[in-house]
Amino acid sequence: MSDVYIVGVDMIKFGRYPERTVPSLAAEAALMALDDAGLGIGQMQALYCGNLGQAGGMVGQRLLAEIGQTGIPVTNVANACATGATAFRDAWMSIKAGVYDVVLAVGVEQMGKGLLGGGAGVSTEGLIGSGTMPAMFAQIGMEHTRKHGTTFEQFARVSVKNHFHSTLNPKSMYRVETPLEQVMAAEMIAYPNTKLMCSVNVDGSAAAVLASEAAVKRLGLMDRAVRVRASAMSSNPFAERQLAMPDFSAATRLAAKSAYEAAGVGPDDINLVELHDCFATAEIVHYENLGLCADGDAGRMIDTGETQLGGRVPVNVSGGLLSKGHPLGATGIANIYEVATHLRGAAGERQVEGARLGMTHVVGGGPGMGTACAIHILEKV
């Protein structure tokens, strides 16, 4: 099976674009990624398009209507917060399978403001706990507190770090430093997550052009290429409390294990990570889920600055979902853009020096639904 490479990748600056349409946001990122590769839509053999909000709305076909209807197969993908990464992985699989050798993957989302969660029918909110995403991830943090004594302050430090990182990223929605006292004193949403410890609902899009080794050589693009060393996915295995609280850790651990095995590397080999910091509490538990530290050691890891730019394994140097923003369907390709940019040595002020291997992680789902996790390991060529 051929190695698969990213030869073009880009994202729009995340923000609020209520006057735009979903396909137009997707088209902008698609053209940017094609330009990055120096290729045109006419050279793409298939399109994998991730979007959640209009999952029934043929976003991929409408995207092609904006940039060129070449008649290629389109697969529209929806998979919670792993939507974009799933589209990317489907593109990767199509090349691995030898069906195509140059394909386009796009992730896009246009979101409203406000709390996510809840559902149709008679509301149980407040009567049977809470169905909001902040409450769900607050409980995940409190479970870590129960097991390991992790403090409010340690969770808050994640936001301090990621907000600082975002000041170095021109494509981030917010680019404002927030001292620890400010993070902790912000409006409490669901303890221990304050408003500054919740990710930002924004609009955004990101895209990648993937190619087989033969195609990369034929097109003369090896100088732009980033190798996909591993693509792994999982769903939530049975978890004891799954009917009461969704489990994001077991799925992440499963996908991480298969990604490390497929790449033939371990956590110590990874130079930077973009992981799913939908809430500050989530980043802490994923340090352990991804094997970046031993179980129970995540609080110490944030305290000592190991995951800060310049530290042992910088995490979310893009600003993360907490500051860059979290347009659900775009997030999984945007974090691939971030890691690929570092591996190309093109990340400017926030460059992780000497980066050779990077990991991306997204995991999503909801109460009573289940979990989708996708992990990619990318390598400098």
Interface residues with another protein (CB under 8 A)?
115, 118, 122-130, 132, 134-135, 138-139, 141-143, 146, 187-192, 195, 238, 240-245
Provide the minimum distance between the beta carbon of 115 and another protein in the complex, in angstroms, as a whole number. 6
**Tokens read off for 358:** 């990077």
Q: Considering the complex, what minimum distance in angstroms separates the CB of residue 326 from another protein?
A: 17
State how far the Cα of 86 lies from the Cα of 65, in Å rounded to an integer. Answer: 23
The nearest distance, CB 55 to another protein, in angstroms, is: 23
Task: Check the CA dihedral 354-267-275-58 and report its sign.
Answer: positive
Q: How far is the CB of 151 from another protein (least distance, A)?
A: 11
Ordered DSSP codes for 182-199: HHHHSPEEETTEEGGGB-
Instruction: Give whichever of 115 and 381 is closer to another protein, judged by the CB atom.
Output: 115
262-282 burial, b for 16+ CB within 10 Å, e for fewer? ebebeeebbbbbbbbbbbbbb
- The Cα 77–Cα 57 span in angstroms is 11
Q: Which of 165, 276, 326, 342 is catalytic?
A: 326
**For this structure, is 376 an active site residue?**
no
Closer residue to another protein in complex, CB, 193/318: 193
Q: At a CB cut-off of 8 Å and minimum separation 6, what does 357 contact?
A: 229, 263, 265, 269, 270, 271, 343, 377, 378, 379, 380
Minimum CB–partner distance for residue 144 and another protein (Å): 10
**Measuring CA to CA, which residue among 7, 3, 72 is closest to residue 219?**
7
Cis peptide bond prior to 192, omega within 30° of 0:
yes
**How many CA within 13 A on the CB side of residue 275?**
30
Q: Residue 170 or residue 237: which is nearer to another protein going by CB? A: 237
Give dist(CA 322, CA 201) in Å, integer.
Answer: 9
Residue 19 or 187: the one with the smaller Cβ distance to another protein is 187
| Closest to another protein by CB, 93 or 245 | 245
**Catalytic annotation on 373?**
no
In the set 81, 198, 278, 373, the catalytic residue is 81
DSSP for 68-84, written as a single string: ------EEEE-BTBTHH
Residues classed as catalytic: 81, 326
